Structure 1
Amino acid sequence: MNEFDDIRPYYDSEVPDVLARLAIDREFIDTLMSIKYRRLGRWMPWLMRPLISRVLRKAFAKIDNVRDFQEAVGTSMANLLRNIGTEVTVSGLEKLDPDSAYLYISNHRDIAMDPAFVNFVLYHNGRDTVRIAIGDNLLTKDFTSDLMRINKSFIVKRSPVGRREKLTALVQLSRYIRFSLLEERASVWIAQREGRAKDGVDKTEKALLKMLSLSKTKEQSFAEAIRELKVVPVAISYELDPLDEAKAKELYTRQTAGAYEKEAHEDLLSIYQGIVGRKGSVHVTFGDPLDGSIDTPEAMAEAVDRQIIGNYHLQPTNLIAFQKLEGDSPQLAHWKAQHPCDWARKTRAFEGRILAMPEAYRDIVLNMYANPVRSKLKLGLV
């Protein structure tokens, strides 16, 4: 057994067996039924299950490898984005060598769509897609693990509780990321933090950066080990967050009750809502590879944050929310001038979205959208 077999993405040779397993997986079929055919599934599950299984087998028969699977996913994603009116734009990619493998570290707003949008813009610009780091806390079902690993995801073990077990898992993860980049020449995506930035404040966790250095040789300095990985910060901005109200509910509950208990399979529902919900415009900005002289996790975290915050493409909703909370300013007027749109219509639509939420959540959501503006101002990135 290879040292990475329990966390790596599936190989092409494994794809047919994985798809055959998914086509008859009862929980996967029931999940699809509850999403797409809820009423029929309740009335006639005995009929719907074999029909869904047959549809899956027919669709999977056209897929022989990981690339086939990702192309099918990409086609479905393009159709979905068109149907929900999402426009995806990208900048900065032209600065990166298409033949190099990079470690992309991005801000984290959506469980599935952050890496999906990175892959989407890479694929449509003729670049290879990335291997995606995903926490095992999200893989509560066997079929979710299969779906993620067939889509070039690798597993971040967050379940170990003992100190030794945690360190072993972190070293394995660090070694796999380095192996992917340096030996297999495959780019990797990882979020800058564990868990989404539900409050809209993007900040890199130093623990993540320390993990990346666990696989360095004894002779290497931190700077040398990180330089090899070709780290590129990536900023992803959404005009609308399909889960803004759900995030506000969690933040409000933590503020008032001191803790928030997730419901069973809440993450799976968040993944689904994040995929199908309206997002408005989405922009992905690729930064510059980090300076090779960065010699501490603290300095690296600052460098990543500065690029992510500086490159974050402010959306009209960010500016409207900031204006409502902080008032007008010359800098705000400058940013608004960069968006040639019907501001009155945008403002009415956003105000309607906020007013449709429970009153207790409204300021939380406004701050969520306004915080990227505050982050830029705080660092003087205007």
Structure 2
Amino acid sequence: GRTFAAGDRLKDLVENYASLNIVPVAISYEYEPCDFLKTKELLAAHNAPGDKPYEKDEDEDLNSIITGITQWKGNVHIHVCDPLTREELQACAECPGHSSGLGHGPGERIQSGDQRMKSSGTGRHGTQDFNAFAANLCALIDNKIRQGYKCFPSNYIAYDLLHGTSTHKEQYTDQDKAAFLKRLESLPEMVFGSNSDKLLPEVLKAAQHIFLKIYANPRSAAHS
């Protein structure tokens, strides 16, 4: 089989990955099946003492995987992007390493289609720096997936609620908003269980903020 490590020549690295015919795929859910689990985990991590990072329960990851597979997601949108081109892979090999997982690091931008990545920073252009190539490739794929991601009414509703605005009111109906608010109202019971009636107001507010951010993030990323 082909090796995935950098070869003696730049063209080997590009050819190895070009032969894979990489096709990024963006999968968008109307409702995040792990929204309550993520809220609970992020809240616990936020409240963990500074010198003691949050530790997951033994079966927490497995439970998240099962929940993500089996639970209701509402509408699902799948966007299959164009395969990565040899030109894009060549640009990944020639461009210095980036500092952002989304391809927007200082002095750098990763573009789609037949456009090339450009950088005003300094670096080892045309070298066999595999780490830089891998970082640039990941950023390119992330950027294409982000461009193909579909925002649902739930994303626009969460963004408007989070920011106290009605900017996106044309993107959802009253029924959409009522359904989302019903899910939000169930958050205390779903996250805190039998302790939900003993919650401090600030804890509930923090949990709601995290929940809304989970849904608002796709809209924020799409317009960044």
TM-score after normalising by structure 2? 0.64
Q: How far apart are the structure 1 equivalents of 2:34 and 2:138?
A: 27
The residue that corresponds to 1:346 in the other structure is 176
Which aligned segments of 4 or more residues in structure 1 are displaced greater than 4 angstroms?
A: none
The aligned amino acid for 2:186 is: A
The residue that corresponds to 1:218 in the other structure is 8
Helix, strand or coil at the partner of 1:290: coil
C-alpha deviation, 1:333, in angstroms? 5.7
Q: How far apart are the structure 2 equivalents of 1:213 and 1:333?
A: 48
* 1:235 is the counterpart of 2:26: yes
Q: How far apart are the structure 2 equivalents of 1:264 and 1:302?
A: 32
The residue that corresponds to 2:41 in the other structure is 250
The answer to whether the Cα contact below 8 Å between 1:355 and 1:362 also exists between their aligned partners in 2 is: no
Provide structure 2 residue ranges, at least 5 long, that are not aligned to the other structure. 94-132, 189-203
The residue that corresponds to 1:311 in the other structure is 148
Query: Which of 204, 212, 223 pairs up with 1:366?
Result: 212
Helix, strand or coil at the partner of 1:231: coil
C-alpha deviation, 1:217, in angstroms? 4.0
Cα-to-partner distance string for 1:256-286 (whole Å, 9 max, x where unaligned): 1052222222233223322332211111111
C-alpha deviation, 1:226, in angstroms? 1.7
Provide the aligned C-alpha RMSD in A: 2.2
Q: How far apart are the structure 1 equivalents of 2:28 and 2:159?
A: 15
- Determine what percentage of the aligned residue pairs are the same residue: 34
Q: How many residues align?
A: 160
C-alpha deviation, 1:252, in angstroms? 1.1
TM-score after normalising by structure 1? 0.39
Cα-to-partner distance string for 1:277-334 (whole Å, 9 max, x where unaligned): 22111111110111212223343233212211111011111111112123233xx467
Cα-to-partner distance string for 1:133-175 (whole Å, 9 max, x where unaligned): xxxxxxxxxxxxxxxxxxxxxxxxxxxxxxxxxxxxxxxxxx6
Q: How far apart are the structure 1 equivalents of 2:210 and 2:179?
A: 18
Provide structure 1 residue ranges, at least 5 long, that are not aligned to the other structure. 1-174, 179-211
Q: Does 1 or 2 have the higher relative contact order (CA < 8 Å, sep 6+)?
A: 2
C-alpha deviation, 1:229, in angstroms? 1.2
The residue that corresponds to 1:130 in the other structure is none
The residue that corresponds to 2:198 in the other structure is none
The answer to whether the Cα contact below 8 Å between 2:18 and 2:86 also exists between their aligned partners in 1 is: yes
Question: Bigger shift: 221-230 or 238-247?
Answer: 221-230
Helix, strand or coil at the partner of 1:232: coil
C-alpha deviation, 1:221, in angstroms? 3.9
